[in-house]
Every structure is written in C-alpha cells, then in structure tokens.
Structure 1
Amino acid sequence: MSEDILNILGVEVAPGKSATVTFEVAKLHTRNTLDVPIIIERSKKPGPTVLVTAGIHGDEINGVEIVRQIIAKGINKPKIGTIICVPVINVFGFLNMDRLFPDGRDLNRVFPGSANGSLASRVAHFVMKELVPHVDFIMDFHTGGADRFNAAQIRIIKDNPKLTELAHVFGAPFIYYSQNLNKSFRNACEKSGVPMLLFEGGKSFNIHSTITNTGVNGAKRVLNHFGMLSSRFKASKPKAEAIVIEDSKWIRAKYSGMFKATISINSKVEKGEVIGNITDPYGSFNYFIKAPNSGYIFNVNESPIIYQGDAIFHISTKLEA
C-alpha cells in the first residue's frame, strides 16, 4: 500500500521521513496521561507498509524485546515502503506486569473494539481504525502464557497459500496451523483483508535470547522477501525447514505435585517415552509421564508446582506430509 502522505492521528509523515506518534490511551487517576508510542519509518521509495506489534498481553515481555531490537538495530528503516512499529500495545499491562487491562479484559478478545466501549475495547478500536487500514502486512509477536514455554513458532490458519509462503520465509522451527480465535487481533485483521503472521515463543515475564534471535531473524527474512530490508543487514537462511504441525493436543497432569520435564522443548519423542515426572515433597510418590503418541514437544510447562488437570506439555499429533 503506497501512500504519498501517511496520516496517523493527524500527524502527516511524508516519504523519506520518520516520526513517533503517541496515542493517548487514557488518563490515570492521578491525571497523568498514558501514551502508546508508534514508531514510523518511511523510505523515499514506494513499497509495502508493514506493521510490527507486540505487547498485546502486558506480561509477554519477550515479544516486546524482539520489536525493541528491530528498532534499536535500525532494521525498521526500510529500503522501500514503510515500517510501523508498536512495541507495547497494552501499555497498562506492561506497566503493571499483568496480562490484562485494568478493566480485567484480555485485549486479544475484544477486537475490532468500539470507540465507546471498555478501555481495552477502545484500544482495539484505535488499532483497527488508525493503523490497520494503512498496512499491507502485519507481524505480531507473542509469548507463552503463565509458566508455559512455547517453542518458536508461527501460527497461521490452514489453506492460505500466501500466509504459508510467508511463514516458511520467516523460518521459525515450527509452523502451527491454528484457527483464528473470535475477537482476536488476528481474526479482525483477516476479516479486514490484512494478512498476519503471529509469532509465539518463550514464556511470560522472561527474555530468552534464542527466542528473541529467532524472532528478529525471522522479521529480517520477511522484510528481505518484500525487498524492504536495508542493505546494511543480511537475512540469514533458516537452519532447517520448518516442521508444520497440523494437529496437536495438550498432555495434562493426572496428579498434583512437584513437576519436572525430562525432555527439552523442540524434542521429537516416541510413544511411551518418559518425558517428565510428578513427585510429592515427602519422597513417597513418583509418577512418570509418558508420551501418548510420537510427535514433537513444542510447549513445556516450567512451573515446578502443578495441579491435577494442568496443561504440562503440548505435543503434535499430526504433521503436514
């Protein structure tokens, strides 16, 4: 999408110019304003407009770090077109180290939002009305919730050739076919006709160097694919072809207790293989967790204490041939 003058919140940004536009989310009870910075970099040469976002959930710091590095390293200064970066959409949650908004709502469950709705709904409305209409493509960075550590993966819907191509270009270890959740950012963008790659990697309240490197390198590959990556940077090839997961299931704890995984994330396991154990503090109980099928482990719960029914491993059940 080529625009001679990009206008966001009344701020005009011409080709070849840079700008940081701030969106005032709300005033705090102290009357101080709380703003979301939007960093815009434009080339003089026309080309696609790419939106890079993170921090929809305030506790997902790893995604924020990926976008921070993209900006700090100058990767967001395009050879052609425009790159818009929003490192922290849910600034309330980020400040409070909380997944949700102060109104208790999950921002990723209120899209496309409403100008007169809840606080979270108003932020969603702003994103869909002020940012998404300007862009051709979006990369949104997330991490695993709570203590669940996600392998680096791209989530897309199945049977979308354009998204499948871009997911392979990104080069994360896994591509996971998952349906768009109702009222999610990804679902709202699909309905608006804007393709999105959703990156998942790491866990909340954590910055993991391997995950951040995967996210930054993947973003560089996609920008290079669009002809937007500055010649100062090189887009390295992925170490291996992505493993495409068509279906999966959660392995849940049969007992409460102290939990330890004995296999690492990204591991391929065989049916019946011991992958972890649950014990009690008194040395009288030790339950070995076995893989219910052969597959890849692409999420591991890293909490040392678990309860019966907790999700502890995410395992693939069907791979794309």
Structure 2
Amino acid sequence: MISLGSAAAAPGEVATGRLPIGETRDGSSVGLPVAVVNGAEAGETLYLQAASDGDEANGVGVVREFVPRIDPAALRGAILVVGIVNYHGFQAGEHRNPLDDTKTNRAYPGDDAGTTSERIAATTFEAASRADYIVDLHQGSTSRMIHEVRVRCGRHHRMHDACLDLARAFDAGTILDQKGPEGQLARVGPDEGIPTIDPELGGAVGIDPASVEVGVQGLMNVCRSYDFLPGETSPGEQTCARDFDQYVAPAGGIVEFGAEPGETVAAGDRLFRVTDVFGSEKAVVTANTGGLFWRTRRLAQVGTGEYVCSVGTDLRTC
C-alpha cells in the first residue's frame, strides 16, 4: 500500500484524496487534491505537481488528462500527484498565495511552522522527497511563451546531467539550462539527490489544450524513458538556451511585435515597436544578440520601463 494524504492505493490501484495543509480564515480544513497510482509491479517513484503558481492552470489540465491515461496494471513503480499546490492562489485565480503574498515556488524546502506558503512547501516537499524523479509543472503565467523545460540546479551541480537527461526525456523541444532563484522546487530537489525539472507549458489565460497535450506527452515520454511504462521513446533534437535577454519599453504606448515566440532572431532584428494610439511611431527595439524569441507580454499597452519580451541566448543543441 502506498499513501499520500488520504489517498491509499494497493498495487495495481489508483486512489485520490486530500493532503492536509492547515485551515482557511474561517477555520475550515484545507487539503490539496492528490492521487496515487500504484503499479502492479514494484519499481521507482515519480512525483508530479501542478499550480504552485495559482494562475497557471495548464499544469492542472495536464494532471486531469494524464492520470486517467495511466493503467496501473501496466505501471512499474508508483506515481504520486499533487494536482494543485497553491490552493489559495488557485481559488482566487492569482499567481501568488494571497494569504501571505508569496510565490509558493520560492518557499521550498518550506517550514512546517512557518507562513502559509512555507507550510504548503514543507508538506509537498516531504512527498516529493519520497520520489526518484520530480516534475513540477508550470507555464509562463498569462504571458505568450514557447513550450520549454527548465533545468534550474545550475550547470556545476552534481545532479545537473541527471536533470538535463530528464528534461531531454520530456522532449518539449526547448530547454532552459539556467540556475534558478532560491526556493524553487527545481533547485531544492537536486540538492536532495533527486533529478528535478520544471516544464513551462506555454502561457495562457485558463487552460490551453495544445499546451496540455505537450505536457501529457512529455510525462508519457518520461514514464517510458525511465521504465515506468512499456514502450520506446526517441527524443528529438532540442534547442538549449543558457541565458535570457529581457527587453522593456523605452516609451509608453501600444506594442507591435516583429517576431513570434519560437522564431529565431538575429542581432539587429526588430523585436517590437511602440506607437501612440494614433499609430505614430515612438520607439523601435531591436535584438542585442541573436537567439530564440522566447516570451512576450500578452497585453498590447505598456508604460515606460515595463517588461515587453525575452530572447533566449547562448543557444546550443542538446
């Protein structure tokens, strides 16, 4: 029997339940939705979570589609799933946890006597620490962004190659190999010797079916590559970026882009221009270096100095 919160599954079974994390402001108990898929045959454990940023619903869509596709009779090992991590942010449709104004994915490994987010992080990290591999599903919030997988431990970390192998196995086509901020699960998991990746499944308001399918296929690729499920995988050639150039608006107005996410740009190519509401050009911004047009804001209107777009740089094939 394998348990996660109130979900307990015998070999060959699937169970769902709740993982207690405390109480709401009215004193009601709160539990995160969890699932255990316990394979008929013993093996390793995969931990999967979604929505540590409360407005990133694509990961929840992946969980919704992925869990029913797994036949525990064909599974070797177990899959532990936390379907929604940032419960309070998800309920409010907000990126951060509104109870402590914190990004939950900056609170790992957590503190079971700390703030709301730290307690959630501690509880979910205890579950993640039981696994042999960790996948933390994200998206580019509500921005427009390519599909990518992030390796956040840093290139000199002892687990870097194992994390990069896991990212390749997911096979989203693009990898960001850049050390992440402290407090990210993808930073902390490797410190415990667990290969961990952070797939960023596009960017959307709500759930984008195309991004969800990329995530579901990525998880199936991982399951087949690491012998959780039978079958062969053949990861394609993937583009790996090691850095970003971020661009802000030099003037306020309306943004018009000169490239689309996923397109290659060269130094000097126009990334965007800013006009006033009558169409008069106020500023043109070009690429400082060549790279992959990675992410853009979704809203057309910008103020001076406001974020507009990112270009992935230091590209290589991996």
TM-score (norm: length of structure 1): 0.89
Residue equivalent to 1:241? 237
Residue equivalent to 1:198? 198
Whole-angstrom CA distance in 2 between matches of 1:63 and 1:126? 19
Residue equivalent to 2:65? 69
Residue equivalent to 1:111? 108
Which residue type is aligned with residue 47 of structure 1?
Answer: G
Q: What is the aligned counterpart of 2:37 among 23, 38, 41?
A: 41
Paired residues of 2:110 and 2:120 also in contact (CA < 8 A): yes
Matched residues, number: 311
Deviations 1:110-148 (A, max 9, x none): 11111111111111111122x023210011111113x42
Residue equivalent to 2:267? 271
Deviation at residue 206 of structure 1 after TM alignment: 3.0
Which residue type is aligned with residue 106 of structure 2?
Answer: R
Residue equivalent to 2:250? 254
Query: Which blocks of at least 5 consecutive residues in structure 2 are unaligned?
Result: none
Residue equivalent to 2:178? 178
Residue equivalent to 2:291? 295
Residue equivalent to 1:22? 18
Whole-angstrom CA distance in 2 between matches of 1:299 and 1:178? 16
Indicate yes or no: 2:111 matched with 1:123: no
Deviation at residue 236 of structure 1 after TM alignment: 6.5
Deviation at residue 272 of structure 1 after TM alignment: 1.6
Which residue type is aligned with residue 196 of structure 1?
Answer: T
Of all paired residues, the percent bearing the same amino acid is 22
Whole-angstrom CA distance in 2 between matches of 1:280 and 1:95? 37
Q: What is the DSSP-based 3-state SS (H/G/I as helix, E as strand, rest coil) of the residue aligned with 2:199?
A: strand
Residue equivalent to 1:225? 225
Runs of 4+ in 1 over 6 A off after TM superposition: none
Q: What is the DSSP-based 3-state SS (H/G/I as helix, E as strand, rest coil) of the residue aligned with 1:108?
A: helix
Deviations 1:272-294 (A, max 9, x none): 22232211113333433322222
Paired residues of 1:50 and 1:84 also in contact (CA < 8 A): yes
Whole-angstrom CA distance in 2 between matches of 1:47 and 1:124? 26
Whole-angstrom CA distance in 1 between matches of 2:136 and 2:74? 18
Deviations 1:253-289 (A, max 9, x none): 1111111223211001122222322111133334333
Whole-angstrom CA distance in 2 between matches of 1:286 and 1:9? 56
Query: Which blocks of at least 5 consecutive residues in structure 1 are unaligned?
Result: none
Deviates more, 1:198-207 or 1:88-97: 198-207
Whole-angstrom CA distance in 2 between matches of 1:178 and 1:113? 22
Q: What is the aligned counterpart of 1:150 among 134, 138, 145?
A: 145
Residue equivalent to 1:84? 80
Whole-angstrom CA distance in 2 between matches of 1:75 and 1:304? 45
User: What CA RMSD, in Å, does the superposition of the two structures yield over aligned residues?
Assistant: 2.2
Which residue type is aligned with residue 259 of structure 1?
Answer: V
Q: What is the DSSP-based 3-state SS (H/G/I as helix, E as strand, rest coil) of the residue aligned with 2:138?
A: strand
**CA pair 171-16 structure 1, distance change in 2 beyond 3 A:** same
Whole-angstrom CA distance in 2 between matches of 1:77 and 1:38? 20
Q: What is the DSSP-based 3-state SS (H/G/I as helix, E as strand, rest coil) of the residue aligned with 1:194?
A: coil
Deviations 1:59-80 (A, max 9, x none): 0111211121112333777520
Deviates more, 1:19-28 or 1:190-199: 19-28
Whole-angstrom CA distance in 2 between matches of 1:135 and 1:111? 16
Which residue type is aligned with residue 96 of structure 2?
Answer: L
Deviates more, 1:94-103 or 1:156-165: 156-165
Whole-angstrom CA distance in 1 between matches of 2:222 and 2:134? 11
**CA pair 166-136 structure 1, distance change in 2 beyond 3 A:** same
Paired residues of 1:113 and 1:121 also in contact (CA < 8 A): yes
**CA pair 18-106 structure 1, distance change in 2 beyond 3 A:** same
Whole-angstrom CA distance in 1 between matches of 2:277 and 2:303? 14
Q: What is the DSSP-based 3-state SS (H/G/I as helix, E as strand, rest coil) of the residue aligned with 2:33?
A: strand
Paired residues of 2:293 and 2:310 also in contact (CA < 8 A): yes
Whole-angstrom CA distance in 2 between matches of 1:36 and 1:182? 24
Indicate yes or no: 2:94 matched with 1:98: yes
Which residue type is aligned with residue 174 of structure 1?
Answer: T
Whole-angstrom CA distance in 2 between matches of 1:120 and 1:141? 17
**CA pair 78-118 structure 1, distance change in 2 beyond 3 A:** farther
Residue equivalent to 2:302? 306
Deviation at residue 237 of structure 1 after TM alignment: 4.7
